[in-house]
Amino acid sequence: MAGPLASLKVVEFSGLGPAPLAGQLLADLGADVITIDRKAAPADPTDINRRGKRSVVLNLKSPEGIEAARRLIASSGVLIEGFRPGVMERLDLGPDSCDSSLIYARMTGWGQEGPWAQTAGHDINYLALTGALHAMGDADRAPVPPLNMVADYGGGTMFLLLGILSAVIERGVSGKGQVVDAAMVDGVPAMMGLIHSMLARGQWSETRGTNWLDGGAPFYRCYTCACGGYISVGALEPQFHALLLEKAGLPDDHQETQNDERQWAARHVSYAAAFRCKTRDQWADVFMDSDACVAPVLTFSEAQFHPHMAARQTILAPDGIAQAAPAPRFSRTPAAMPKSPTAIGADTDDVLEGLGYEAKARAAITG
């Protein structure tokens, strides 16, 4: 295995959402990630969260399957699961059943404890409870969910990974593992330090669409272009704002009153009219190589072909399936380029053999 995490062995109980992404990102960086699956299935190159992982099918309804899972967990340094609280305990695979050196990483929306811990939810619900969703979208309509990237993957996956790697470092000192309780409703507020600071200083209004970063400022929002495409404008700092005015042909005297909120509504209108005069790609050429903080709004299918993204090979297409390259990048221990996912259960025999099971014993374990 290549990458900085080549010494890390992880067992992941397969599921949906932020936990599989965490496993994928660990595998991208070289970790040996083995998923425990319920039923074999053909390889699916579009199931990107499975890339770089090995898969073993175990019957967790049988004593033999549970015992095999215990052996696999005992041979690993990290366990990832994304079930509701109590599910793993009912399988007799909870933290108390595992070695004290294991890092037991649990991913949920609401957390392991609390009045809502046992209720269902999705990204939009977790985001709603943090206050963040209320701030997203236009002022004259209901809040708009930002795909599922903020709560599921930002507040979920990234904090699960932070917890795992923090626990790995601590284990190197103490020799002990621990439970990592990663909850999306904890992770999203943890990313809101700037917003909480601005709220405390009276610099943020809870009226949507009236602030610096929520589309209220005419110099920090998206505009429709002549072609129907969009251009993103993020000229917050005065020196960048001055370049925006110059290159977009907007009035110079706007620089003096950039942050005068009384002017913003009128400037939304005038700036929108200005940006409708050229196509998205024409504006991209106007602002090319400038510090005006302006960029074209690309579709998913366009992103990989932008010169900057293409130069960095940020998006790859193994087997014709567009997907992100491993990130971040390392100078001394670079990650290998990702390979397409293998079939679910493709590694069952190899994994069970490595755990000491002979061929005759495997049928009861997997069936």
**Is it the case that residue 349 has pLDDT exceeding 70?**
yes
Q: Residue 171 sits in which domain range? A: 9-191+337-366
Can you give the pLDDT at residue 367?
78
Q: Is 212 contained in some domain?
A: no
Q: Is 198 contained in some domain?
A: no
Q: Average pLDDT over the chain, rounded to whole?
A: 96
Q: Is 318 contained in some domain?
A: no
Can you give the pLDDT at residue 177?
98
Mean pLDDT score, 302-324: 95
Query: Could you report the per-residue pLDDT of 67-90, keeping only the tens digit for each?
Result: 999 999 999 999 999 999 999 999
Q: Is 349 a catalytic residue?
A: no
Q: Is 152 a catalytic residue?
A: yes
Q: Is 328 contained in some domain?
A: no
Q: Is 203 contained in some domain?
A: no
Can you give the pLDDT at residue 1?
67
Q: Is 69 contained in some domain?
A: yes
In this structure, the answer to whether residues 281 and 246 fall within a common structural domain is yes
Q: SS3 sequence, the chain?
A: CCCCCCCCEEEEECCCCHHHHHHHHHHHCCCEEEEEECCCECCCCCCHHHCCCEEEECCCCCHHHHHHHHHHHHCCCEEEECCCCCHHHHCCCCHHHCCCCCEEEEEECCCCCCCCCCCCCCHHHHHHHHCCHHHCCCCCCCCCCCCCHHHHHHHHHHHHHHHHHHHHHHHHHHCCCCEEEEEHHHHHHHCCHHHHHHHHCCCCCCCCCCCCCCCCCCCEEEEECCCCCEEEEECCCHHHHHHHHHHHCCCHHHHCCCCCHHHHHHHHHHHHHHHCCCCHHHHHHHCCCCCCCEEECCCHHHHCCCHHHHHHCCEECHHHCCEECCCCCCCCCCCCCCCCCCCECCCHHHHHHHCCCCHHHHHHHHC
In this structure, the answer to whether residues 177 and 102 fall within a common structural domain is yes
In this structure, the answer to whether residues 76 and 155 fall within a common structural domain is yes
**The one catalytic residue among 28, 32, 152, 214:** 152
In this structure, the answer to whether residues 156 and 18 fall within a common structural domain is yes
Can you give the pLDDT at residue 363?
82
Domain ends where: 311, 329, 348? 311
In this structure, the answer to whether residues 102 and 150 fall within a common structural domain is yes
Return the CATH number at 247.
Answer: 3.30.1540.10
How many domains does the structure of the chain reveal? 2
Mean pLDDT score, 175-183: 98
Q: Is 197 contained in some domain?
A: no
Residue 122's pLDDT band, with cuts at 50, 70 and 90, is: very high
**Is it the case that residue 246 has pLDDT exceeding 70?**
yes
Q: Is 358 contained in some domain?
A: yes
Query: Could you report the per-residue pLDDT of 92-109, keeping only the tens digit for each?
Result: 999 999 999 999 999 999
**The one catalytic residue among 44, 99, 122, 268:** 122
